[in-house]
Amino acid sequence: MDAMNTGGTRTVGYDRVVLPGGRQLSRREFEALPLRERVGYLMEGTAQFFNGATQVTAADAMKG
């Protein structure tokens, strides 16, 4: 998983999440999910986070 952009600056934060089954959510929609559900995705590592076109790790996504 590439968490770096071409300029070498670490990309943090996210604006889009892809959940298991291909369901795509905006950041606002993801944050509106019940905490239990969000924590479940993060514990299982099954959610993919994107900042623009760049995929970021869950850890970096949560930093921004």
Partner 1 sequence: MSVAVKAIENTRAALEAIVQRAEERYEKRRQEIFRHTDRLFSRLMIGQWAFAVLLAWVVSPYAWQGMQKTIHLHVWVAVLLGGAITSVPFYLARTRPGEVATRHAIAVGQMLWSALLIHLTGGRIETHFHVFGSLAFLAFYRDWPVIVTGAAVVATDHFLRGILWPESVYGIANPEWWRFLEHAGWVVFCVSFLIMSCRKSDKDMRVMAERGAELEALSENAWRNSSVLDRAAADAAGR
**Residue 40 found at the interface with partner 1 (CB under 8 A):** yes
Compute how many residues bind partner 1; rule: CB under 8 A: 12
**Residue 44 found at the interface with partner 1 (CB under 8 A):** yes
Chain centroid to Cα 63, Å, comes to: 10
Measured from the CB of residue 34, what is the shortest distance to partner 1 in angstroms? 9
**Which residue from 38, 48, 49, 53 is in contact with partner 1, where contact means CB under 8 A?**
38
The identity of residue 10, as a single letter, is R
Which residues bind to partner 1, rule: CB under 8 A?
35-36, 38-40, 42-45, 58-59, 62
